[in-house]
Amino acid sequence: MTRPTVDLRPTTQPPLPRQRPITSFLTKPQVIALVAVLLVNWALFPGFFTITWQDGRFFGSLIDVLNRGAPVAILAIGMTMVIATKGVDLSVGAVMAISGATAATLVTNGIPAPTAVLAALATGLLCGLWNGILVTVLEIQPIIATLVLMVAGRGLAQLITEGTIVTFSDPLLIFIGTGSFLGLPMPVVIALVLMVLATLIVRRTALGLLIEAVGVNRSAARFAGLKAGTLLLIVYTFAGFCAAISGLIVAGDIRGADANNAGLWLELDAILAVVIGGTSLMGGRFSIPMAVLGAMIIQAMNTGILISGFSPEFNLVVKSAVIIVILVLQSPLSARLFRRLPGAPK
Amino acid sequence: MTEPKPVLEARGIVKIFGQHRALDTVDFTANAGEVHALLGENGAGKSTLIKILTGAYQPDGGELLLDGQPITLRDPLHGQTYGIGTVYQEVNLLPNRSVAENLFLGRQPTRFGMVDRKRIDAAAKDLLSRYGLDIDVRAELSEYSVAVQQIVAIARAVELSGKVLVLDEPTASLDRNEVQRLFDVVRGLKAKGLAIIFITHFLDQVFDLADRVTILRNGRKVASQPLNTLNTTDVVRMMLGKDVAFDHHPTALSGGPKGQVRVAFQNLSRKGLTPFDLSVHEGEVVGVAGLLGSGRTEVARLMFGVDGSDTGQITVDGQPVTIRNPAQAVAAGFGFCPEDRKLDGIFGDLSVRENIIIALQAKLGWFKALNREDQVELAGRYAEALDIRAADHDMPVKLLSGGNQQKVILARWLAIDPTFLILDEPTRGIDVGAHAEIVRTINRLREEGLALFVISSELDEVVAYSNRIVVMRDREMVAELDGDTIAPDAIVQAIAGTAKEARP
Amino acid sequence: YAEGLQGKVIGFSQIGSESGWRAAETSVTKAEAEARGIDLKFADAQQKQENQIKAIRGFIAQGVDAILVAPVVATGWEEVLTEAKEANIPVVLLDRGIEGPEDLYLTSVASDQVKEGRVAGEFLATTVGDKPCNIVELQGTVGSSPAINRKQGFEEAIAGKANLTITRSQTGDFTRSKGKEVMEGFIKAEDGGKNICAVYAHNDDMAVGAIQAIKDAGLKPGSDILVVSIDAVPDIFAAMVAGEANATVELTPNMAGPAFDALQAYWDAGTAPEKFIITESKLYTPADDPQGEYDRRKGLGY
Amino acid sequence: MTRSLRPLLATTLIFLFAYALAVSQQPAMLSTRVLGNFLTDNAFLGIAAVGMTFVILSGGIDLSVGAVIGFTTVLVAVLIMWLELHPLLAFAIALIVATAFGAIMGAAIHYLKVPSFIVTLAGMFLARGGASVLSPDSIGIEHPFFTAVQKSYILLPGGGRLTVVGIIMLIVFACAILLAHRTRFGSNVYALGGSETSAALMGVPVARTTISIYALSGFLAGLAGVVFSLYTSAGYSLNALGVELDAIAAVVIGGTLLTGGYGFVAGTFIGVMLQGLVQTYIVFDGTLSSWWTKIVVGVLLFMFILLQRLVFRAGPRRT
Ligand SMILES: Nc1ncnc2c1ncn2[C@@H]1O[C@H](COP(=O)(O)OP(=O)(O)OP(=O)(O)O)[C@@H](O)[C@H]1O
Ligand SMILES: Nc1ncnc2c1ncn2[C@@H]1O[C@H](COP(=O)(O)OP(=O)(O)OP(=O)(O)O)[C@@H](O)[C@H]1O
Ligand SMILES: [Mg+2]
Ligand SMILES: [Mg+2]
């Protein structure tokens, strides 16, 4: 047998994504679901797709969907990788509150905004690291490990703000939440950049594969010489970092840190987005862009409910109905039906 | 012999996975009072056929008949109600439940609606004693070795089989004594008129036990006839579709260790495991023999850093190295094919290609990603070198047959260009062709200067490639054989030593 | 203050800290207790009634002298308050009433939530006059009693006015961010906000969010779209200073003060207080020295 | 067996130790009154946690329990107050609805192959939404039956009360312990948690068991809702918000592994009591602000898990 000598050429072409024809992308259940939800919105409100240019930025319901979906999309980017390792992070909502509280409190105490932002991101990293340590070093099951911070984190955030809504008028923080770049709201820009960067980092390096390997079989990963613990630490830390960004956006958006309500229950939306995006809660294969798409589906649905004029008692019922439809669409059962359709890809 | 009486019959069975025809119009008949061996290469479709016969899969074509009546089996439970008991290839038991419960799940005796634990425990103890197993049946199954689990699975299936007993590679992890004991049980059942279907890659066992043989190749039946009309060469030829230069009983290697010391373990120990010294040279294979539970796997895990050692030093090429976890072992150029493939080896949902390159990738680090071309090339090379049969290297490895999965793990370690390779039962569940291939590969690797540490329960096999053999008993290295002293008989004597059996 | 309450142990079961107003109520209560020398046992229920019941049971087991409760819902208090009564511990309800026999509690110190809504509605009605006006409503948490009552009061106030209609109504969960998001949706759905003449928010936090949404849409809150809300937290006065809010109805965070006074009178002189002590629902507009109000409230823990 | 009993033992010891510690700080906590309150106040949580235990033992999770409790209270209130049914009839209807709801979720999990986390999350939205559609407003229940139930309790020496709801919880635990450890159904639940494929190949009726497990969880959540409505005499759509997380925490603190297959119903009981202890202690202490309450609850949760892990780790590893 000849020994392989592996020469390491710089990766010129995208390494993993398989060349799929655009049609197969369009027949993905997620894409169909998104289009369907958007069409329903359009039917409810004919001006839904209208986008105008106003005060140097785009303006319209579609932009609102992107803008309002951005925080959950950012959470979902971090959450995707956590879920890919067979974990879950319930604390992201609380971490959002902590990060917003940190930035707002520092800024109102006269600390320069860039420092405050960095500090907020650092707290997010720390929170994520804490989760990671609980999961790897203490080997606590992820749901419970992150439940600790979910419960205590909101308390910490309130400790920072002393229970009040800390209002600020710092232009940098406000810009993060409500500014615009090339006509797009900053949250959208941040989410897009983060999505592209995270996808590139994960797919151009070996990280993505290694994360998937850990998620598929942690024991085998150990036997194959993978540093599973370090990977998990990184993944949870990154989720904390994403949550911190989201927290900054949400605080900047309302010009204040609302420790009690910022990010409340958003962890569930983020998990839902990831699952709708096709990443299994059992770990393994993941896709960041699809998770972001999942977040957009959820937001399109929320926006649709808002403009539909239903009375708010029906919100949750409508939401669950849409989720159920998407789940049924995604299930193997309907996949089998789909394959029978002429023209659908094998 | 009287006219054979068909019990379970399959006619024109077709099973399609995706675009792959795993079974193509296969006929199969299991007769009462007959042991029917089902043979074929890895991936030939044996396990798939079994799963159809027992109700785990639904066929895409063809029909099943039980005692001449057409039946449709919804699921294994349904199969059980017809008296079809099965041991599937991968041990399919519940690691979290007690041994007794594993034996009686689904048919626990109850009193006033409550499960009668005492009776179950007593019955389980009684049942296992027939297989020479005297263990605490209330302990969790996962506390026992693979071999014990295998026996439990067999005992369970035998109890369930009123008409048909299906054994898919039951002997893969058993030692000689246990195999003999199992065969005694099977012969007893045969005498009672059961139809027994038996899959194995050990041809001598086939000739020892079976009356009739059916051979599959690439999902098609190539032959089905009484065994007494055949000899080994015929069988192998039909299985592989060609003649192979196959030396079934290769002679021992002569000559001791070659080259310099590659790795040396000094005074390595762990709670309960007697400290040992061992050095492996370049171009040397150290074989390890011993009974089940004698501590062979434990030594391998210790060497690879899976379990932490209490004492001891390790040197590689004269340089001391620290190995506290597998990552450090891989960095030191070690490779390890673990015994439990499903649990510690394969990444079921990842592709064949990714499974092959993963260790290399882990060794290279996160930022030196192998690009797709390199991956394809590497995977292709090793798949070819080890003759891995997969329709496509992008398919999930869990869809491969058991033997091919084993080869994928071997390929993974070869890909890192190791200096020292630990193989724990590398040929378990591997077909004759591949078996010979792996033995040849081990020999070739040795010739190329690799140092190997190979654990195997097959004495013939150990003899075929080892320069030196370490014998273990009661978690202690008790003997070392080398050069001309290596012979199956000598090993058996060393193993026998004083204690007969060493089991938890 | 007199000796009366010095050294008394009083348990306070608070709902939680879900809004700035609630935080202010907690800190005012603590300050009032401290000023009177009361040993206040504080229990936060994290918005859950079951936690409040547990807390009250704990207070009873501990043998406190009196119990203050800010009930999260109106129903479901009979059993536990009966227990308190049997233990001879007087109970004072804060900021919301309950359904049930009145002899279960000493008194209830609360605002009239329906009236708050009515005051807000009447303000809008007089401000708009005869002009047609489409109102959008930001409701509180679905099912919460302030949301229900403030909606009812507002509707009562505008009932007779044909020119005033509520065109859209959604929940903003009492939070700024939801208030902003919902308002954004309303603006899009109502022709870029041109069809909206006023927004009525069930609390100031949602109004603050709505103001930002209006500004983001290029409209002027306070003039293009009138903003009316309830609570009188500092930030709404800041908005008034900037001319971005038109009115708020005060809900005082000092519910404990009257409660303590009632307890003192009860213990000192044995006088049973009035059953319902209604706090004032005062309307504030930009004419009422918003800057001064802002400064006065800033330190209260909102 | 002894090995898997270890976490149960650990949890019990931790509880006793924590209780002793609490009593040393707040001597008033050592009374039958407090103990009686533990049972009464945590009855609905305990009952829901029993259902959650079965779900988690089978390797799933049920996020809908809190919402089902809330929904049940509203349904019961609507049936009694608006339709003027007798409470017992209303309870029966509510229990049937809750059980059917659980069964449907179980069927969706099994047949659609969607993770339980997501199915039950959708279930949670649906039940909460359904409750607020039925009546966003809280509905007080006035019925002689309710008053009678609330007035009946066993007086313990020392002034403690063993109430009807407390007794219901104890009965549920007793039955559940038998169900989990002494019946074929129980074995099948553990089997599913150990390995679904193996269980299927060993002849466990996977579909039926899965559906039964979620139906059971739905039933117990419904029962918890009934208990909740007895406890508060009211139906309210926002009742029992977030109780699913408390239930999960109780189950896990009780030593059941979230990955399924290992654990004890009795452990859940201790887990529930531990949570009650923490809350009672915080109330007795009475000095914690809103945020410190959250932090302390989180830190204590962490400490219990940590202690448990340490005890767990001390045992021998599997080979
Ligand atoms: N669920 C599945 N989906 C797709 N392909 C499958 C599936 N199960 C088996 N196969 C394929 O069917 C073929 C037959 O597999 P099977 O497991 O029956 O082989 P086998 O004869 O038992 O081999 P071995 O001796 O290695 O156990 C293989 O090519 C395998 O990859
Ligand atoms: N950490 C440990 N503590 C106690 N006993 C142990 C420990 N590790 C292994 N054993 C026991 O030591 C014995 C050696 O097991 P090991 O798996 O190494 O044997 P083996 O020779 O590889 O057998 P097999 O053929 O079953 O793989 C077994 O009886 C096992 O139960
Ligand atoms: Mg097979
Ligand atoms: Mg071994």
| DSSP per-residue letters across B455-483 | E-S-HHHHHHH-SEEEEEETTEEEEEEEG
Other C-beta atoms closer than 10 Å to the C-beta of D136 total 22
Of A3, A7, A216, the CB nearest to B347: A216
Q: Is C191 left (phi over 0), alpha (psi -120 to 50) or beta?
A: left
Choosing from B15, B23, B47, B352 the residue with most ligand 1 atoms within 8 A of its CB, the one to mutate for a pocket test is B47
Q: pLDDT tens for chain B, 504 residues: list them.
A: 457 789 999 999 999 987 788 899 999 999 999 999 999 888 888 989 999 998 888 999 999 999 989 999 888 888 888 888 888 877 688 988 999 999 998 888 877 778 888 889 999 999 998 888 888 998 888 888 777 888 898 889 888 888 899 998 887 777 777 888 888 888 988 998 889 999 988 888 889 899 999 999 888 999 898 988 888 888 888 887 765 544 444 444 555 556 788 899 999 988 888 899 999 998 889 999 887 778 889 899 999 999 888 888 999 988 999 999 999 999 999 999 998 888 899 999 999 999 999 999 998 888 888 888 889 999 999 888 888 888 888 989 988 887 788 889 989 999 998 989 999 988 877 777 777 778 888 888 888 888 999 998 878 788 888 888 999 888 888 888 887 778 878 888 887 764 444 333
The helix or strand, by DSSP H or E, that contains position D174, with its residue range, turns out to be: helix D164-182
- Is residue A13 predicted with pLDDT exceeding 50? no
List chain B residues with CB under 8 Å of A4.
378, 381-382, 415, 417
Q: Do A306 and C182 touch (CB under 8 A)?
A: yes
Q: Indicate which ligand has the atom closest to the C-alpha of B216.
A: 1
The structure tokens 């059917």 sit at D100
AA identity, residue D101: F
Residue from the list A140, A272, A315 with its beta carbon closest to the beta carbon of D121? A272
Q: Which chains touch B (3 or more CB pairs under 8 A)?
A: A, D
Torsion of the alpha carbons at A61, A67, A71 and A76, rounded to the nearest 10: 70
Contact indicator for B28, B10 with CB cutoff of 8 Å: yes
Residue B259: C-alpha distances to residues B435, B446, C37 (Å): 27, 11, 89
Q: Does B374 touch chain A (CB under 8 A)?
A: yes
pLDDT at B257 (0 to 100): 53
Report CB contact under 8 Å: D232, C62. no
User: How far apart are alpha carbons A80 and A288 in whole angstroms?
Assistant: 6
Instruction: Identify the burial level of C88 via C-beta atoms within 10 angstroms of its C-beta, where 0-12 means exposed, 13-18 middle and 19 or more buried.
Output: exposed
What's the predicted TM-score (pTM) here?
0.88
Assigned domain for A342 exists:
no
Tell me which residues have their CB within 5 A of the ion that is ligand 3. Answer: B 47, 89, 402
Q: What is the pLDDT of residue B264?
A: 92
Q: Alpha helix (H) ranges present in B319-450?
A: 326-331, 352-364, 372-385, 402-414, 432-447
Residue with the bigger pLDDT between C65 and D253: it is C65
User: What are the distances in angstroms from CA C129 to CA B118, B384, C158, C163, C224?
Assistant: 86, 88, 11, 9, 16
What domain range includes position A121?
A: 56-332
Chain A positions in Cβ-Cβ contact with residue D130 (cut-off 8 Å): 317
Q: Strand pairing of B468-473 and B476-482? A: antiparallel
**Closest ligand 1 atom to Cα of B216:** 21
Strands B311-316 and B319-321: antiparallel
By C-alpha distance, which of C106, C53, C61 is closest to C87? C61
Nearest Cα to Cα of residue C230 among C125, C126, C111, C143: C111
For C97, residues 6+ apart whose C-beta sits below 8 A from its C-beta are C71, C74, C108, C110, C276
Instruction: Considering only the C-alpha atoms of chain A, give the largest distance between any 2 of them, rounded to a whole number of Å.
Output: 72
Helix H or strand E segment including A165: strand A165-167
CB distance from B137 to chain A under 8 Å? no
Q: Which residues from D are below 8 Å from B117, CB to CB?
A: 182
For residue B401, the CA-to-ligand 1 centroid distance in Å is 4
Q: In chain D, where are the structural domains located?
A: 5-19+31-313
B284-290 and B468-473: which strand pairing?
parallel
Ligand 2, atom 14: closest residue by C-alpha: B295
Average pLDDT of chain A?
86
What are B10's strand-pairing partners?
Answer: B28, B64
Cβ of B172 closer than 6 Å to ligand 2, yes or no, is no
pLDDT of residue B248: 42
Residue A4 pLDDT level (bands cut at 50, 70, 90): very low
Give Cα A207 distance to the centre of its chain. 18
Query: Where is B86: in which H helix or E strand?
Result: strand B84-87
β-pairing verdict for B420-424 and B451-455: parallel
Pick the residue of A302, A307, A314 with the most C CBs within 10 A to test the interface with C by mutation.
A307
Per-residue confidence (pLDDT) for residue D4, from 0 to 100: 64
Residue with tokens 């009239």: C112
- Cβ–ligand 2 contact at B475 (below 6 Å): yes
Max CA separation in chain C (angstroms): 63
Cβ contact, residue pair B354, A8, below 8 Å: no
How confident is the model over D117-162, as pLDDT tens digits?
889 999 999 999 999 999 988 898 989 999 898 888 888 888 788 9
Q: Give ∠ CA C94-C97-C103 in degrees, rounded to 5.
A: 95
> Shortest Cα distance from A8 to chain B (angstroms)?
7
Closest ligand to the CA of B289: 2
- Select the residue of D132, D234, D289 nearest C75 (Cβ to Cβ): D234
User: Best of B151, B179, B475 to mutate for ligand 2, by most ligand atoms within 8 A of CB?
Assistant: B475
Residue C257 near residue C32 (C-beta atoms within 8 A): yes
Q: Which residues of A15-50 are buried (b: 16+ CB within 10 A; e: fewer)?
A: beeeeeeeeeeeebbbeebbebbbebbbeebebbee
Q: Residue A109 maps to which CATH number?
A: 1.10.3470
Ligand 1 mean position to B410 CA, how many Å? 19
Assess contact for B223 and B215: CB atoms under 8 A.
yes
| Nearest-by-Cβ selection for D3 from B94, B114, B140 | B140
pLDDT value, residue C136: 95
Q: Which residues of B touch D (CB under 8 A)?
A: 56, 75-77, 80, 86, 88, 92-98, 101-102, 105-106, 108, 110, 113-115, 117, 138-140, 142-143, 145, 156, 298
Q: Do B350 and A222 touch (CB under 8 A)?
A: no
* ipTM (interface predicted TM): 0.86
pLDDT tens profile A176-201: 999 989 999 999 999 999 999 999 99
Distance B357 CA to ligand 3 centre (A): 24
Which residue type does A130 have?
A: W
Residue B369 distance to chain A (closest CA, Å): 5
- C-alpha B427/C-alpha B201 separation (Å) is 10
Per DSSP, helices labelled H in B34-143 are 46-54, 76-81, 99-104, 117-129
Identity of the residue in C55, C61, C99 whose CB atom sits nearest the CB atom of D28 = C61
Separation of CA B371 and ligand 1 centre (Å): 29
Whether residue C95 is predicted with pLDDT greater than 60 in this model: the reply is: yes
Cβ pair C263, C245 in contact under 8 A: no
d(CA B407, ligand 3 centre) in Å:
14
Instruction: Give the C-alpha distances (Å, rounded to integers) separating A104 from A174, A252, B245, D244.
Output: 10, 9, 78, 32
Residue D207 forms contact with B (CB below 8 Å): no
Judge whether residue C100 has pLDDT over 50. yes
Domains and CATH numbers, chain B: 6-96+140-240 (3.40.50.300), 259-333+418-428+442-504 (3.40.50.300), 338-417 (no CATH)
| Helix (H) / strand (E) containing A98 | helix A92-108
- The answer to whether A270 and A72 have CB atoms below 8 angstroms apart is yes
Q: A–D contact (≥3 CB pairs within 8 Å)?
A: yes
The answer to whether C180 and C174 have CB atoms below 8 angstroms apart is: no
Read off the DSSP letter of residue C11: E
* A10 in any annotated domain: no
Residue D225 · residue D70 · CB < 8 Å: yes
Q: Do A260 and C216 touch (CB under 8 A)?
A: no
**What does the alpha-carbon distance between residue D179 and residue D62 come to, in Å, rounded to a whole number?**
19
The two three-digit tokens of residue B289, written as one number: 């023999």
Question: What fold characterizes domain D5-19+31-313?
Answer: ABC transporter involved in vitamin B12 uptake, BtuC (1.10.3470)
Contact D203 B93 (CB under 8 A): no
What's the domain count of chain A? Answer: 1
A86 touches chain D (CB under 8 A): no
As a whole number of angstroms, the distance between CA A293 and CA A179 comes to 23
Look at residues B156, B142, B137, B150 and name the one whose alpha carbon lies nearest to residue B99: B137
Q: Cα separation of A87 and A305, whole Å?
A: 31
The two tokens of residue B145 are 């070795």
- CB pair distance less than 8 Å for D31 and C61: yes
- Chain D residue closest in CA terms to B140: D1
Position A14 confidence tier, pLDDT thresholds 50, 70, 90: very low
Interface of C with A in 120-179 (CB under 8 A): 139, 142-143, 168-171, 173, 175-178
Q: What is the pLDDT of residues A308-343, one digit of tens each?
A: 888 888 888 888 888 888 878 777 777 666 655 544
Q: How many CA atoms lie within 13 A of C83 on its CB side?
A: 27
CA B307 to ligand 2: nearest atom = 1
Question: How many residues belong to chain D?
Answer: 319
- Helical H runs in B108-175? 117-129, 146-160
B56, B80, B115 member nearest D182 (Cβ): B115
Residue nearest to atom 9 of ligand 1 (CA): B399
Rg (alpha carbons) of chain D, rounded to whole number:
20
In the predicted model, residues of chain D with pLDDT beneath 50 are 1, 315-319
What would the pLDDT profile of C217-254 be if each residue is shown by its tens digit?
Answer: 889 999 999 999 999 999 999 999 999 999 999 999 99
What whole-number distance in Å separates Cα of residue A75 and Cα of residue A242? 6
- Three-state SS for A50? coil
**Cα–chain center distance at C139:** 13
DSSP state, residue D81? I
- Render C67-134 in DSSP notation, one character per residue: EEE--SSSSS-HHHHHHHHHTT--EEEESS--SS-GGGSSEEEE--HHHHHHHHHHHHHHHHTTS-EE
Cβ proximity of A195 and A138 under 8 Å: no
Q: Which residue of C has its CA nearest to A55?
A: C218
Q: What confidence tens digit (pLDDT) does each residue in A208-239 have?
A: 999 999 999 999 999 999 999 999 999 999 99
